[in-house]
Amino acid sequence: MFKSTFKKTGFVFIGLALVIGLGYLGWQRKQPIKAVLGTVTSCTFTDVPTTHPDQLNILATCLADVMSAYTTGIFNPDHTVSNSDLAIYLTKAMNGSIPKSTFDTKPHFCEVTDYKTSLFSALDYLYGKNVVLCPTPRLCRNSLLRPIYWTNPNGKPIWLSACSFDKTAAAHREDAATWIARALAGGDANVPAASGTPVFSDISSRSSYKYIQYLGRMGVAVGYPDGTFHPTEHITRAHLASFLAKGFDLISKKLVSNVSGTVTTTSGVLANGYIVIDDGEDIVQTDAYGKYTAPGLDATTHELAFYDSAGNLYENPDPGVHLISPNYGPNTINFSGLVRK
């Protein structure tokens, strides 16, 4: 977080005194405001409001440059993910970027032979990590059933023996779970056998059972309210963002500095007040104009409590609204309409 900033500005002493003072007054609040801090304009999508169940995960994958906008300002959370996109997104989550392949990299899949493409590099990376497998290579043939040739590094064309990869097909939820489980376990051989009561009621008969069970037990794979997983259902961008953000801890990896804004109450600005973050883990003071700056806050959900200089608590007047943020400019979050408790 931003404890080092406090040390430089002397806020450690102020924060300690405030915590003691608020403790004396009785640190109780009915409805802390839950805010997403660390948002940036490029990762704010008009079709992913703060009320969207996967908003935090979508934000995290965007900030980590794993998944980006579908079109300008749009994430398209309900759109299905192709096998190609799944390979690219997973590679980014694992490696941080797509490693570049070279001419002498042998294709592993008949339909993906151009080493200059991101998909080729991603599949080569996932193949090397035993995430995407090719157990039984076959002679590759084109649409006319003619053998496909590959020129090896010595310049000699040879018939290409590889596996099939359906680039454009929509990936299923069990496909995504299988790949992600292998990635997190360190390869297919390291994924433990399924045991105990199935985490979801509709997976025990599937060949993907152990992979889904593995992710379910870790809290990475989330099912539906009725306790099912829907393994054969096509996975959406929102659900994949959830799997990747949780599996690779993307929420805590991407930090955004200098989150700032203004805090106002129903009677005016919160001048010289305090924003207590996560039960006193960090404290930020507002200035005479109600403005604040919180350097280094990560893009996760934080519980915020607002106090004036006298120690009076201010709350969100509507318990159903956890984030009052009329301004989503770069790294800017404003809180308004707070009511004294």
pLDDT on residue 254: 62
Distance separating alpha carbons of residues 140 and 162, to the nearest angstrom: 6
pLDDT on residue 184: 97
pLDDT on residue 38: 56
Structure tokens at 8: 């430089």
Instruction: Output 242-245 pairs: Cβ under 8 A, ≥24 positions apart.
Output: 242/54, 242/57, 243/176, 243/177, 243/180, 243/215, 244/57, 244/61, 244/66, 244/67, 244/89, 244/90, 244/93, 244/180, 245/56, 245/57, 245/58, 245/60, 245/61
State the sign of the Cα–Cα–Cα–Cα dihedral 191, 245, 276, 295: positive
For residue 97, the tally of other CB atoms under 10 A from its CB is 12
For residue 147, the tally of other CB atoms under 10 A from its CB is 12
For residue 238, the tally of other CB atoms under 10 A from its CB is 23
- Cβ atoms of 178 and 203 within 8 Å: the answer is no
Which CATH code for domain 3-40+256-335?
A: 2.60.40.1120
Structure tokens at 184: 């997190």
Tell me the backbone φ, ψ of residue 49, rounded to 5 degrees: -70, 170
pLDDT on residue 298: 66
| pTM, 2 dp | 0.70
pLDDT tens over the chain, length 341 residues: 333 333 333 333 444 444 444 443 444 444 566 666 655 556 778 898 878 889 878 888 988 889 988 888 899 999 999 999 999 999 999 999 999 999 999 999 999 999 999 999 999 999 999 999 999 999 999 888 899 988 888 888 899 999 999 999 999 999 999 999 999 999 999 999 999 999 999 999 999 999 999 999 999 999 999 999 999 999 999 999 999 999 998 876 665 556 788 999 988 999 999 988 877 778 889 999 999 988 766 666 678 889 988 888 988 765 544 444 444 445 677 888 888 88
Closest alpha carbon to 141 in 158, 160, 168, 156: 160
Domain boundaries, the chain: 3-40+256-335, 82-88+98-169
Closest alpha carbon to 56 in 244, 301, 304: 301
pLDDT on residue 152: 86
Q: How far is CA 305 from the centre of its chain?
A: 26
User: Cα–Cα distances in Å, from 246 out to 58, 227, 328?
Assistant: 11, 19, 25
For residue 19, the tally of other CB atoms under 10 A from its CB is 16
